[in-house]
Amino acid sequence: MISFQRFILLILILLRAYPLLAQEEKEDSTALEKKNVMTTLTDGITTSVRYTGETIQKVGKHINAIDTNYISPNLYNLAFMLEHSTWYEHYKLGTDKNGYPQRLSFSPNLGTKLGIYFGWRWIFLGYTFDIEDLFGGNKDKPKKKEMSLNIYSSKFGIDLYYRKTGSDFKLRSHEGFYLNNQFKDIHFDGLESSIKGLNAYWIFNHKKFSYPAAYSQSTNQRKSAGSFMAGFSYSQHKISFDHEKLPESMDNQLNPNLRFSKIKYSDYSLGFGYGYNWVFAKNWVSNLSLLPGIGYKKSKIDDNDFKDEHWIKDINFNLITRAAIVYNDSKYFVGASFVMHTYDYRKPNLSVTNSFGTLRIYAGFNFWRRKAKTP
């Protein structure tokens, strides 16, 4: 038999050991709980990533769904392209108030650039440079800035752009002046402008009509087709004008309404138009599309808010014109495209029409053929 003293000693040992055993059990339980949480979190992240990828893939297939009787998809992953681009812009200032109408038209010489591009499916990235820079003839010429991003999918398209002119404009024509000498194509460094904006448009007949076939070479139009389009655009315009740099005889006769120094206006526009792809020979397609819009303009002249008595007077018209011709046999492609934006700003005593466009001539080839999908 166990003596009373030994029994008491055994009880004390058990009581001392119990907290340690409980602590170890608690630590084991906490570690297991943390492990379960991490496993659940990891599984959740993995599931979310997989679900997001599947969703993006489904959305991509949905927005790029096509009728293969009219359009064939690109068979390659990558593309290389060389491009020659010509930039054009034109500004026309005018007034009809006080019975003394006048017009002034300005534009710079056409600018030309060379570009090298690499593309992944429908995304092209590249670098462009002025041809004059190669021969050192562009050192004193005011620098321009042009940036743009164009996305063409089956269902919709997006244009993001920013342009800032130099001060190398020329006075191209004038009306409403009584002059002994006519001034034409003379240098005028009193005009500067910048514009930034966004165009978004929806293509209704997207399964048969392909914008990418005409403007990004990522599909091939096999049968002629057209589509109505709806669009929204937003743009900000800044125009600086120093009338004192006009010839003195013109400046002395200049209508007071044209003696402004700055115009700033924002344009919100809704448009509805039509585009057509004409397949006139095997592997050839030409496109013409017009997207006119009705815009509401909020403006400042010389940093003062310009307000009309009736908001309807702030409604003006815009137009986006696109044209293209492309040869594409899936492997090699060559073509030309032209995109023109025209904005019309009119107030009771002042009108400004500004246009800018780009002509691109390009050639390239596709490579790294996509794997055929298994049924």
**Structure confidence by residue, pLDDT tens digits, 234-260:** 999 899 999 999 999 999 999 988 998
pTM of the predicted structure, to 2 decimals: 0.78
Q: Which residues contact 270 (CB under 8 A, 6 or more apart)?
A: 230, 231, 232, 293, 294, 295
Instruction: Report the pLDDT averaged over residues 89-111.
Output: 86
d(CA 369, CA 363): 19
d(CA 166, CA 146): 11
Question: Residue 165 — φ and ψ, nearest 5°?
Answer: -80, 165
Pick the range with the lowest mean pLDDT from 241-245, 328-332, 363-367, 370-374. Answer: 370-374
- pLDDT, greater one: 339 or 165: 339
| 69 pLDDT above the threshold of 90 | yes
Instruction: Report the pLDDT averaged over residues 258-265.
Output: 89
CA contacts within 13 A on the Cβ side of 167: 9
Q: For the chain, report the end-to-end CA distance as a whole number of angstroms.
A: 82
Which is nearest to 94 in space by CA: 354, 297, 350, 318?
350
Number of other CB atoms surrounding residue 199 within 10 Å: 23
Listed ranges 118-127, 208-217, 324-333; the one with the highest mean pLDDT: 324-333
- pLDDT, greater one: 292 or 125: 292
Tokens of 262: 């700055």
